[in-house]
Chain A
């Protein structure tokens, strides 16, 4: 299963965000997308998921235009973790997670392994809105895994997660890639990107973009070019804080 963006252009009003992007998502890879706020990371995720139409260019899923696929068929292949917005959901965590299986019909899904994987077993019968931010993020991840997508597009999945659950997310992403699936993550942490992504996409927010392996892209100079002068200091070892 391959997802290809062919000469795709993203615009926000008159502002050019991404100019003529060519991106072929390979099975078995974890791709990290980095860029400043408002650079078009979430918009690109929506485009790749077929939920928004690019100003120019085309997204192809296995050589078929994504826009031509029926929504349910598309949902059986591509899953999205959008940024959180659960204000309208009044049911339990279990009901919430089970909705992820919707593209495959009402056939019951065994939720127990999902609850175990995301440590939700004790929370399953609580109302979703009674959960903490991190717990809710885990419920959203469990909902995505209930969809069993072959291409998973995650918008800032690390939000609210403590280190233990970040590690769990990391293990899940690697596991998906090893199973031949593709995982796309938007991130703000170059260390995470360096260690756990196979390829990176930099979005500068003014039309420019860069695609390559982490070793080539992640240099102090390139990070300052991406995020602005002075930002490289964030990831430099400081004398004042002793590493443990």
Chain B
């Protein structure tokens, strides 16, 4: 039967199943993972402005990925380096600031912010000495771009697994919004639960960054907006974040591919351009 199809139809099918379809699927999973990670980070730090890259994940990933690109490595290796960089940043943040997590999250926050600043400086250094012809690829990685994502199945498996795991914690996460002392008095093991949050949010973020670079804003805006519109219980908030984050990134990526077609924009530019006005509009509401 396939032979009976007109050639252009066959080509269209091929584009749909081998290029567009996987990319849309990957965009949804990446957006969902980022928004989920953002919601978990906001609960970990009891702060509505926390986001997935707060602990320097994007900086660590960016630095190693850019070093790989500068050395002329191909994409799968750059992706592996980005993943390793994320884990390095998380391990450093945990080692430097994680000691008092049962009572106080501020040292972890400060360690993460300092690491992000340090990685930022090193990234600027690499950009300033890298061969000029490699700069566009580097900038696309730093802004986040879904053109590289090769494996939507792995991302979807991660999204489902992370959502289910987070949902299993949702009762405890509701209580963790209270002060650490109050949460402990209600029977929640604060330090282990906070480390679970740290690990889960970190793993989600590291996976996305290794597949698509540092796509900004989804992880901050989606959970923040959903909390603002009245989703406070995690049992509803977390799946809502996964759905809304995924949808937002699919929309942003569709625009990134089409607004100046045939050229593409980094999807991170679109998420920020869509996100900033939405966020400002939300902040107007009392």
Contact = CB atoms under 8 A, between A and B. Distances in A.
B216 to A, nearest CB: 22
Interface string A101-120: 01100100000000000000
A92 B229 CA distance: 12
Interface string A68-80: 0011111110111
B6 to A, nearest CB: 55
Interface in A82-115: 82, 85-92, 95, 99-100, 102-103, 106
| Chain B contact patch, size range | 20 to 34
A85 B46 CA distance: 11
Interface in B223-249: 227, 232-233
Given A88-B47, A92-B232, A100 B186 contact: yes
B232 A102 contact: no
Contacts of B182: 80, 82, 85
Interface stretch (B82-90, B110-118, B170-178): B170-178
B101 to A, nearest CB: 14
Most buried by A among B43, B175, B185: B185
Contacts of B259: none
A166 interface: no
Given A51-B185, A91-B232, A106 B177 contact: no
Given A87-B46, A89-B178, A95 B187 contact: no
B184 interface: yes
A147 interface: yes
Given A82-B185, A85-B181, 20 more contacts: A46-B181, A71-B187, A72-B187, A75-B185, A75-B186, A82-B181, A85-B182, A87-B46, A87-B47, A88-B43, A88-B176, A90-B48, A90-B177, A90-B227, A95-B232, A95-B233, A99-B174, A99-B186, A102-B187, A103-B187
Interface of A: 46, 49, 51, 70-76, 78-80, 82, 85-92, 95, 99-100, 102-103, 106, 147
Given A82-B182, A90-B48, A95-B232, A75 B174 contact: no
B278 interface: no
Contacts of B43: 88
Given A82-B181, A90-B48, A103 B232 contact: no
Nearest to A72: B187
A242 to B, nearest CB: 43
Nearest to A51: B184
A102 B185 contact: no
Contacts of A46: 181
B151 interface: no
A207 to B, nearest CB: 24
A51 B181 contact: yes
A86 B187 contact: no
A71 B232 contact: no
Contacts of B187: 70-76, 102-103
A99 B184 contact: no
A118 B257 CA distance: 57
Contacts of A90: 48, 177, 227, 232
B179 interface: yes
A194 B31 CA distance: 61
Contacts of A74: 187
B96 interface: no
A88 B46 contact: yes
A99 B232 contact: no
Contacts of B282: none
A88 B185 contact: no
Nearest to B185: A80
Given A51-B184, A78-B185, A103-B186, A85 B179 contact: yes
A108 to B, nearest CB: 13
Nearest to A87: B46
B161 interface: no
Interface in B152-205: 171, 174-179, 181-182, 184-189
